[in-house]
């Protein structure tokens, strides 16, 4: 089952409340005990944080700002490429956050963060003040080396579920028989470490059933498959022998989007369909807030509260943070709860939990029904001030239909925990 399908976002709960939101933002608080938390971003991290802060923090107004009208799940979006899911099955609205949890949701884009005044400015000029700001900005792409990839529709990245996912699927459908698809994998870290290799399985599944004389070439900037290596390679051999050519250590040197060619140090590759996944960094709003402080790409945080080490009263969760943690939906959901509990404690005059512990599970479909997983438990290490993976982390023994059922159950559970 997919999420509930809606076509709109609830703005500040109802039209009436949205109309007075600017006045609320600029007015002095009637009661100094009341607090306002502004959450920027409505993905797994942001929506979960907004929900749980509202649930756990008394006398706290929660405003979630998201530029997209709907939530579209990146987990399982690779299956859309092979026709094994639809985008509609992965799409939901934010109705329950408003109606059940009292979160005021605003569809808008943030254009400025004023850390001195503790306010954010929206694209319509509205200013909203905050006591605590939670940034769940997700990722943006780095186009400096290949600016020709920006703002074009010929070579989709499809790394954010939505229109580009559909575009890549349509390009695959239209490709000539015996054609070549080239997919690139950026150097780690990037969102969803197993994602490119699951995508390879889904593209190969499509080719096997619709274009069996075609080929998928994977140009991976990494030295090898970086997640579930043995399981993915076993799946490629078992299900897609002859369909996939995997070439590691293949950093892109040039991209010609007009002729659909890619150059690496090993040579030039010509495609009929090209899927370039760019290198990645914290979303733009993190730069606005001045919290990008690692390699000019990532945000460093205190893992007891996810408060930025660069700016007070600003918390950063999800894919944008710098850590040896997977950039996954499950991880974003877990971090959001730690952050929500910390904010609740801070508002109550208490210290955040001293040893956060959470797990991460990531499923990948290797066919339409068979899946594999990797799972780990992370505990806060006070000496290193880091989240550390505990012994016993593991992966599936093999792919199976049963794992596919577990993957669907996991997806339905996390969608519900995030949005219902």
The pLDDT of residue 353 is 78
**72 and 150 assigned to the same domain:** no
Residue 360 DSSP code: E
Check pLDDT > 70 for residue 9: no
Q: Quick one: pLDDT at residue 392?
A: 79
Q: In which region does residue 107 sit, left (phi positive, over 0), alpha (psi from -120 to 50) or beta (all else)?
A: beta
**Does residue 413 sit in the same domain as residue 347?**
yes
Residues 156 and 226 in one domain: yes
Summarize the confidence of residues 135-152 as an average pLDDT: 96
If asked whether residues 366 and 385 sit together in one domain, one would say yes
Does 5 fall in a domain?
no
- Indicate the number of domains in the chain: 2
Q: Taking a C-beta distance cutoff of 8 angstroms, is the pair 376, 232 a contact?
A: no
Q: Are residues 270 and 312 in the same domain?
A: no
DSSP state letters, 107-146: E--EEEEETTTTEEEETTS-EEE-SEEEE---EEE--SS-
Residue 10 lies in a domain: no
Query: Of 252, 278, 304, which residue constitutes the final position of a domain?
Result: 278
In a domain, 304, yes or no: yes
Tell which of 251, 278, 305 closes a domain.
278
Report yes or no: 285 and 299 within 8 Å, Cβ to Cβ: no
Asked if 313 and 384 sit in the same domain, the reply is yes
Residues 221 and 152 in one domain: yes
pLDDT at 28 over 80: no
Residue 206 lies in a domain: yes
Q: What is the reported pLDDT for 24?
A: 38
Q: Residue 105 in 3-state DSSP?
A: strand
With b meaning 16 or more CB within 10 Å and e meaning fewer, what string describes 240-263?
beebbebeeebbbeebebeebebe
At residue 337, the pLDDT reads 98
| pLDDT value of residue 21 | 34
Is it the case that residue 31 has pLDDT exceeding 60? no
pLDDT tens per residue across span 204-213? 999 999 999 9
Asked if residue 342 has pLDDT above 90, the reply is yes
Interval 256-268: pLDDT, tens: 999 999 999 989 9
- Which residues contact residue 266 at a Cβ distance below 8 angstroms, ignoring those fewer than 6 apart? 247, 250
Q: Quote the percentage of the chain above a pLDDT of 70.
A: 92
Q: Is residue 9 part of a domain?
A: no
Q: Looking at the domain assignment, is residue 70 inside a domain?
A: yes
Q: Looking at the structure, tell me whether residues 273 and 303 fall in a common domain.
A: no
Q: What is the mean pLDDT of residues 72-99?
A: 97
pLDDT > 90 fraction of the chain, expressed in percent and rounded: 89
The answer to whether residues 301 and 411 belong to one domain is: yes
Range(s) of the domain holding residue 413: 15-140+281-419
Name the domain boundary from 240, 263, 278. Answer: 278
CATH code of the domain in which 374 resides: 3.50.50.60
Q: pLDDT at residue 365 above 50?
A: yes
Q: What's the rounded Cα separation, in Å, for the pair 185 and 275?
A: 9
Specify if 180 maps to a domain: yes
Q: How far is CA 52 from the centre of its chain?
A: 19
pLDDT of 131 higher than 80 = yes
135 shares its domain with 151 = no
Name the residue with higher pLDDT: 10 or 376. 376
326 and 402 co-located in one domain: yes
Task: Give the pLDDT score at 393.
Answer: 74
Is the pLDDT score of 7 beyond 90?
no
Query: What mean pLDDT comes out for the span 136-140?
Result: 97
Q: Which residue has the higher pLDDT, 324 or 396?
A: 396
Confidence at 11, pLDDT banded by 50, 70, 90: very low
What is the sign, positive or negative, of the torsion defined by CA atoms of 22, 25, 31, 36?
A: positive
Whether residues 174 and 297 share a domain: the answer is no
Mean pLDDT for 135-139 is 97
The tens digit of pLDDT for each residue in 213-246 reads 999 999 999 999 999 999 999 999 999 999 999 9
Q: Which of 124, 122, 103 is nearest to 111 (CA)?
A: 122
For residue 3, tell me if it sits in a domain. no
pTM tops 0.85 = yes
């Amino acid at each position: 089952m997919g999420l509930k399908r809606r076509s709109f976002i609830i703005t500040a709960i109802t039209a009436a409340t949205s109309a007075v939101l600017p006045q609320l933002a600029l007015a002095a608080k009637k009661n100094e005990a009341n607090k306002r938390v502004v959450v920027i971003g409505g993905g797994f991290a942001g929506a979960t944080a907004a929900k749980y802060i509202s649930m756990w923090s008394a006398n706290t107004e929660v405003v979630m700002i998201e530029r997209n009208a709907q939530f579209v799940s990146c987990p399982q979006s690779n299956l859309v490429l092979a026709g094994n899911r639809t985008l509609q099955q992965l799409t939901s609205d934010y109705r329950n956050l408003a109606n059940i949890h009292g979160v005021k949701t605003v569809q808008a884009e943030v254009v400025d963060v004023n850390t001195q005044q503790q306010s954010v400015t929206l694209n319509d000029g509205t200013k909203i003040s905050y006591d605590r700001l939670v940034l769940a900005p997700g990722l943006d792409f780095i186009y400096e080396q290949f600016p020709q990839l920006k703002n074009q529709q010929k070579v989709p990245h499809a790394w954010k579920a939505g229109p580009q996912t559909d575009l890549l699927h349509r390009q695959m459908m239209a490709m000539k028989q015996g054609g070549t698809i080239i997919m690139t994998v950026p150097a780690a870290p990037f969102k969803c470490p197993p994602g490119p290799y699951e995508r390879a399985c889904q593209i190969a599944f499509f080719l096997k059933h619709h274009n069996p004389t075609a080929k998928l070439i994977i140009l991976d900037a990494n030295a090898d498959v970086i997640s579930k290596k043995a399981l993915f390679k076993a799946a490629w051999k078992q299900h897609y022998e002859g369909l996939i050519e995997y070439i590691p250590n293949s950093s892109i040197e040039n991209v010609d989007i007009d002729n659909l060619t890619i150059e690496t140090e090993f040579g030039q590759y010509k495609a009929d369909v090209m899927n370039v996944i760019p290198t990645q960094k914290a979303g733009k709003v993190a730069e606005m807030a001045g919290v990008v402080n690692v390699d000019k790409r990532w945000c460093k945080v205190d893992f007891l509260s996810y408060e930025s080490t660069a700016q007070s009263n600003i918390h950063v969760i999800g894919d944008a943070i710098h850590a040896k943690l997977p950039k996954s939906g499950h991880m974003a959901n877990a971090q959001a709860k730690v952050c929500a509990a910390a904010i609740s404690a801070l508002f109550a005059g208490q210290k955040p939990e001293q040893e956060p512990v959470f797990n991460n599970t990531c499923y990948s479909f290797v066919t339409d029904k068979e899946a594999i997983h990797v799972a780990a438990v992370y505990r806060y290490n006070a000496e290193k001030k880091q989240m550390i993976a505990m012994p016993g982390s593991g992966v599936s023994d093999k792919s199976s239909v049963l794992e596919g059922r577990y993957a669907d159950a996991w997806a339905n559970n996390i969608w519900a925990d995030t949005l219902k």
